[in-house]
Structure 1
Amino acid sequence: MSGHSKFANIKHKKEKNDAAKGKIFTMLGREIQVAVRAGGADPASNGKLRDIIAKCKSNNMPNDTIDRSIKKAAGNEDGVEYETIRYEGYGPSGVAVIVDVLTDNRNRAAANVRNAFTKGGGNMGTSGCVSFMFDEKGLIVLDREEVEMDEEEVMMIALEAGADDFVAEEDSFEITTDPDSLSAVREALEAEGIVMASAEVTMIPQTYSELKTDEELKKMNKLLALLDDEDDVQTVWHNWDE
């Protein structure tokens, strides 16, 4: 994974999104709503909700905002039903792109995502057209500066809790798990007081694609910017070697 540090990407995204915290919190609120309606409002018995709460905290969402979102979802105050949809396609020069949306309007989401692909010099494909080029993994990222334990100790805690791999990068530790083991590994680290920069199920590219011309770079950045501006879009994965 060297050369593709997830932590570097997280820092970039957080810096870029500092002015858009309201949008991030809205997106996380939708995830809370879906989790509560699927498994209840008690994090003790709803593992998915526990994972999302951890994600909220890693994005600096205040505890009272998290609590209000859970109560709102439990009471179904707004009456809106969201569904998760995955779109796949290609950016410039065949860069593989996966877009996850959480929306209350399937037609609007599809049209807006398709428009982003088109304006970004790519095209939306069929379900499964690029996802086979990624591995779905749980990924936990630790900021080295925030970890007081020795590297060996952290690694053993993670591996004993069920992690598949532990990679030490220059500024971070990156722990990969099976998606179903993410919660157990995250909770084991939390129990030891280890702070996480992020803990989420992600799509890790098996190979990376390069863009070699200024025009390709311009189009790819436009595609990502248009997707980032869409309220329905939750997450975007790609195999562009930035």
Structure 2
Amino acid sequence: MSGHSKWAGIKHKKAKVDAQRGRTFTKIIREITVAARVGGGDPDGNPRLRLAIDKAKAVNMPQDNIQRAIQKGTGELPGTSYEEYIYEGYGPGGVAVLLEIVTDNKNRTAPEIRKAFAKYGGNLGESGCVAWMFEKKGLIQVEAAAADEDRLLGIVLEAGAEDVRRSDDIFEVITAPKDLERVKESLTKEKIQIAEGEVTMLPQNTVKLEGKQAQQMLQLMETLEEHDDVQNAYANFDIPEEIMAAVTS
């Protein structure tokens, strides 16, 4: 899971920069709209919407923007009709790539995603080709400096977490998706600051990459992450820390 962990950390840092350019706002607004359309506009009864609102607040999105996105999802305000898709493919070295897409025009999105894969040594695959390699989980990240490991372990396991792992200077708390909110609430109650908390797709195994393939894989992930229609990009790569670090410089 190390590849996922490092890339998740990079994305967290980039989100703050992207927010200034509006890209993160755009993606979160789409997620709020779709979540409200699928599960209703009340975040108390719609966990997906609640998570999306949490993401919006984390990047300081104005409350008016959040409310308008909810109302567009519930049909109270007119808005663009978005559809959700899962795209699957392979990156350099056979890395599995899983994409969550939200688009108003699949005929535009699919060729653009296919082109991105081809440009960086990968290819878009058939439905089901890699999805089996990933498992939907809740993932909470807590900076190691913010909590004692034994105390953290006791709190989250009592709240229903499945596992706690250490990745560099981050504790990763793994939960079943349905238990994510309860574990987050237990940490908040104990005044332990959460760096990130989301439902994600965790790879069950990883593919090690170095050299040119590692660079191509990171370029592919950057390109996919920056595409407006890609809500989330998951991959099972494991890349040396020095190469990963170069991406953030």
TM-score by length of 1: 0.86
- Is the counterpart of residue 154 in structure 1 residue 148 in structure 2? no
Unaligned runs of 5+ in 2: 240-249
Q: Residue 193 of structure 2 is aligned with which of 175, 192, 195?
A: 195
Give the direction of change, closer, same or farther, for the CA distance of 1:58–1:9 in structure 2 (3 Å limit): farther
Give, in whole Å, the separation in 2 of the partners of 1:5 and 1:109: 24
Gaps of 5+ in 1: none
RMSD: 2.3
Aligned position for 1:137: 137
Q: Secondary structure at the match of 1:98?
A: strand
Among 224, 231, 236, the alignment partner of 1:234 is 231
Tell me the equivalent position of 2:176.
178
Alignment of 1:1-242 (within 5 A): 3-4=2-3, 6=5, 8-21=6-19, 22-63=22-63, 65-145=65-145, 147=146, 149-214=147-212, 216-242=213-239
Q: Are 1:58 and 1:197, in contact at CA under 8 Å, matched by a contact in 2?
A: no
* CA drift at 1:31: 0.8
* 1:143/1:119 CA distance change after superposition, 3 Å: same
Partner of 1:44: helix, strand, or coil? helix
Asked whether the 8 Å contact 1:5–1:169 carries over to 2, the reply is: no
The 1-side partners of 2:164 and 2:198 are apart by: 15
Contact 1:119 1:222 survives alignment (8 Å):
no
CA distance in 2, matches of 1:14, 1:201: 14
Quote how far apart the aligned CAs of 1:211 are: 2.6
What is the Cα deviation at residue 208 of structure 1? 1.6
Query: Could you give the per-residue CA deviations for residues 171-214 of structure 1, whole angstroms, max 9, x where no partner exists?
Result: 12110011222222222223333321111122222222123442
Quote the Cα distance in structure 2 between the aligned partners of 1:219 and 1:36. Answer: 36
Deviation, 1:168, is: 3.4
Code of the aligned partner of 1:24: T
Tell me, yes or no, if the aligned pair for 2:68 and 2:77 is still in contact at 8 Å.
no
Report the residue type matching 1:26 in the other structure.
Answer: T
CA distance in 2, matches of 1:122, 1:169: 28
Q: Is the 8 A contact 2:72 2:79 kept in 1?
A: no
The residue number in structure 1 matching 2:247 is: none
Deviations 1:63-90 (A, max 9, x none): 5543443345445434212122111111
- The Cα of 1:27 is off from its aligned counterpart by 0.4
Partners of 1:210 and 1:240 within 8 A in 2: yes
Deviation readout 1:127-166 (Å, 9 max, x if unpaired): 1111212222111111223x3x533232222112211011
Q: How many residues are treated as equivalent by the alignment?
A: 237
* Runs of 4+ displaced beyond 6 Å: none
Mapped to 2, the partners of 1:128 and 1:115 lie a distance apart of 20
**% identical equivalent positions:** 44
SS of the residue corresponding to residue 129 of structure 1 reads coil
